[in-house]
Amino acid sequence: MTQPFSIAIAGLGTVGSGVLALLARNGDLIAARAGRPVVIAAVSARDRLRDRGVPLSGIRWYDDPEAMVADPGVDAVVELIGGADGVARQVVQAAIAAGKPVVTANKALLALHGVELAAWAEQRHVPLAFEAAVAGGIPVIKLLREGLAGNRIERIAGILNGTCNFILTTMREGGGAFADVLAEAQRLGYAEADPSFDIDGIDAAHKLAILAALAFGRPVSFESVHVEGIRCISPLDVAFAAEFGFRIKLLGLAQQTERGIAARVHPCLVPEGSSLAGVEGVFNAVVAEGDFVGRVMIEGRGAGAGPTASAVVADVIDVARGRTTPVWGAASGALSDAPSAPMSDHAGCYYLRIMVTDRPGVIADVTAALRDEGVSLESMLQRGRAPGEAVPVVLVTHETNETHMGAALARIALLDAVQEAPTLIRIEQI
Rounded to whole angstroms, the Cα distance separating 410 from 88 reads: 43
pTM confidence score: 0.95
**DSSP secondary structure letter of residue 131:** G
Rounded to whole angstroms, the Cα distance separating 37 from 27 reads: 7
Compute and round to an integer the Cα radius of gyration of the chain. 24
Angle between helices 87-97 and 107-123 (to 10 degrees): 20
Q: How far lies 374's CA from each of 228, 403, 422, in Å?
A: 25, 10, 18
Rounded to whole angstroms, the Cα distance separating 118 from 93 reads: 11
Ordered structural domains, the chain, with CATH: 5-133 (3.40.50.720), 140-302+329-343 (3.30.360.10), 346-427 (3.30.70.260)
Show Cβ contacts of residue 409 under 8 Å, excluding neighbours closer than 6 positions: 352, 422, 424
Rounded to whole angstroms, the Cα distance separating 134 from 12 reads: 19
pLDDT along the chain (430 residues), means of 10: 90 94 96 97 87 83 95 97 95 98 98 96 96 95 96 97 97 94 93 94 98 96 97 96 97 95 98 96 97 97 92 98 93 92 96 93 94 95 79 96 96 94 95
Per-residue pLDDT, 230: 98
Alpha carbons within 13 angstroms on the beta-carbon side of residue 209 total: 26
Per-residue pLDDT, 58: 85
**207 is an active site residue:** yes
Of 100, 107, 142, 207, the catalytic one is: 207
How many CB atoms within 10 Å of residue 152?
Answer: 13
Q: Among candidates 52, 124, 61, which has minimal Cα distance to 94?
A: 124
Per-residue pLDDT, 1: 47
Alpha carbons within 13 angstroms on the beta-carbon side of residue 329 total: 27
Per-residue pLDDT, 384: 67
